Structures are given as C-alpha cells and as structure tokens.
Amino acid sequence: MAKFTYLLGAGASANRLPTIIDFIHGLEYVRGLFTAKDGILTSRETINIGTNFEREILLRDLSWLIDETKSHATIDTFAKKLFLTEGINDPNYNKLKHLLQFVLTIWHFKKETLSFIKKEKTEYSFDVDPRYDAFFSNIINKSLQGTGPNTLDGRISIISWNYDYQIEYSLCKFFTPDEVSNILFPLSRVEIPGTTTTSFTKLSLNGTVGEKFDKVLCSDMAKAQNSTHEVQHSLIKKYFEKYNSALSSKITESPISYAWEEKAHAVEMRKKAEELLSHSDYLIIIGYSFPNFNREIDKDILNAMNRDIKVIMQCPEKDFEQTRDRFLARLSSKTNAEIGVVKKYTIPSKDINEFHIHRMF
C-alpha cells in the first residue's frame, strides 16, 4: 500500500491568508482595524479594544513588527535573529510569537483581509483556502451507514511548516470537534504513535495558533464567517484580552513554537517527520520554497527519505527549477548519484487550483 506525505508551506494557504510577499500589508491591515488614521475603517467602525493605554501599546507593537519585518527578509528571519541574539526567553521574542498568534487569528476571522491587501474589487469570500475542503473531501473514507464514523485515509500524512489553522478549521466541516481532536491526537502528546499505524497523521513543525486542537478557536472562526462587524469585533476583543494577558504573564507560552527552539515536543515532531518520510513512497511539496532559516531542520528531515521516493512539486511553473534546486541542496548526506536519482524522479505539478492527488492514490 503506497504512502503519501505532503510537505506544506505558506503557499498552501495563499488563497485565504497573506504569504511572505503580502505579509507587511497584512500587518498594516490589522493595525488599521484599531485606528481610523490608517484609513481602513471610519472612526465609527474602528475596533475599540482595551483601555486607551492598552490600545496605544498594541499599535506601537504592531508598528514595531511592521518596521522589523520591512528590515528583514521575512518575519521568520527576524524571529530567528532574536532567538540567536537574545535567546528563547527574550521579551521581544516572546512578544513576536504572541503578536503573530493574535494577527493570524484576526486574519482567520476577517475574510476581507486579502481583498484589502490585493486591492481587488472582487472580495475574497472563502472562509478557508478552498483547496483544503476539496482535498479532504477526496481523502475521507466514508463509512457505510451504521457501521461507524467516517475516517481520513491512513495512507496520507501531512508535515506542515505553517502555524495557521486552515487544516483544523477545514476538518471541522467534515467531523465533529471531538472527532477532529482524535484525528489530530498526535499533536497533543510527545510520544507519537509509530509508523506502523494506519491513521492519518498531521505534524506541525512550528506549532499552530491554537493550543493542541482548540475547539473554541475553531468555533469562533465559524462564528466570524458571514457575521456582522459587531460579532467579529467582539471576538477580536476576546482574543486581544488573551494576548494582553499572555504578555503580562512571564509563564504563558505561545502555541507557536519555532522548530529551531529544540523543545522536546518539537524534536519529537521532527523525529516523527523523519520516520514518515523514510516510509513514504511519494512526497508532494505544496507552497514551500525551502527558506534558508529552515535549512538545518529540512536537511534532517529530507535526508531520512526513502531512497526510492517520488517527489511532486506543486508550484507555479516559473518557480519549479529554483524550488527543485533548493530542495536538492538540502540532501547533504546523499551521494551525487543518489541526488541524481531523486532529481530524475522530481516532477512539477503545474495545476495549483487544487492540491495534487497522485494517480496511485
């Protein structure tokens, strides 16, 4: 039975959330929600959260993150710089992760985020990147009536570098919250089941905006869709209070936990990712460009690949050669002959309108 592992980057959520190229504009959009000065909302529509002092601090922090992102290649580059120079307990490093969590939550609530960024007249109306819904509808094994619950096909595994909640939210459309929690159970423990399991597996190398599987967050995301501004604003206020509380506490950790932090859970995730790839027959790479700040971890994971693995890269045609070269450059433990074989069996998938499903599935 062939096994298929998907490696996802930010491009896998590009139809719903800002990617690197739009990230700064996405931050500016969030800042504009809290002040009429940025011209996104009128003074009457501006979200009035916290005290004047707390709001001013939030605007200052958002401006800080915008300025620092402009000064670095990506937000993750800035995060790793803080980690390397100031350490894991640095207040700014902690603030960056909590602030990023808050921003991503707002992007999930506000469907018009991309419309603002891209300045397009046609509003983006997706509550989730539609490719996730289409993908899961194709890999769910439907139970015959009365014989048990539906399940996700155990031949599929996902390794994700993303900290968004697109996968979790999409799954909630097909399963009950308790069922989703069971599907994503490996995320809630350090000791992950071995590769002999036939269960669907999803690994988040950088953590996510939700702690383990956050039923409340998924419920709030559903409430925010097609709701009035008042409902959305009340939800944003709720998560601002969480953000504010987390920053005032020295012990509250963000569920976003970069893989380079070497925490026990993250290390175990990487080990599991290596195990998955060592037993996978096909690797499908979607929306991931192999950035240098993930180089060492990518090397550990990719060098564990099954020697006979077939690789499919789903990306715009113009990006294929560069993405393939970056991918091959991570195979440091393999000989030139072995890399040549991998290169030979690395092919593009030009159709980016749906996630690739191999003909052997």
State the Cα–Cα distance between residues 125 and 163, nearest whole angstrom: 22
Q: Is the pTM of this model over 0.85?
A: yes
205 and 305 part of one domain = yes
Average pLDDT over residues 133-148: 77
263 and 178 part of one domain = yes
53 and 159 part of one domain = no
Those residues with Cβ within 8 angstroms of residue 217's Cβ, 6 or more apart along the chain or in another chain: 105, 165, 209, 210
42 and 176 part of one domain = no
236 and 288 part of one domain = no
pLDDT for 40 beyond 80: no
28 and 132 part of one domain = no
Mean pLDDT in the chain? 87
63 and 200 part of one domain = no
278 and 323 part of one domain = yes
- Comparing C-alpha atoms, which of 125, 126, 221 is closest to residue 165? 221
CATH of the domain at 154: 3.40.50
The terminus-to-terminus CA distance of the chain in angstroms comes to 9
183 and 267 part of one domain = yes
Residue with tokens 């800080």: 64
Q: Tell me what pLDDT residue 39 has.
A: 53
% pLDDT > 70, the chain: 90
For residue 359, being part of any structural domain is answered with no
Q: Tell me what pLDDT residue 80 has.
A: 94
224 and 114 part of one domain = yes
Q: Residue 312 sits in which domain range?
A: 4-13+128-210+259-349
For residue 253, being part of any structural domain is answered with no
- Comparing C-alpha atoms, which of 144, 121, 116, 129 is closest to residue 39? 116
Q: Between 225 and 99, where is the model more confident?
A: 99
Q: Tell me what pLDDT residue 349 has.
A: 87
For residue 358, being part of any structural domain is answered with no
**Number of domains into which the chain is organized:** 2
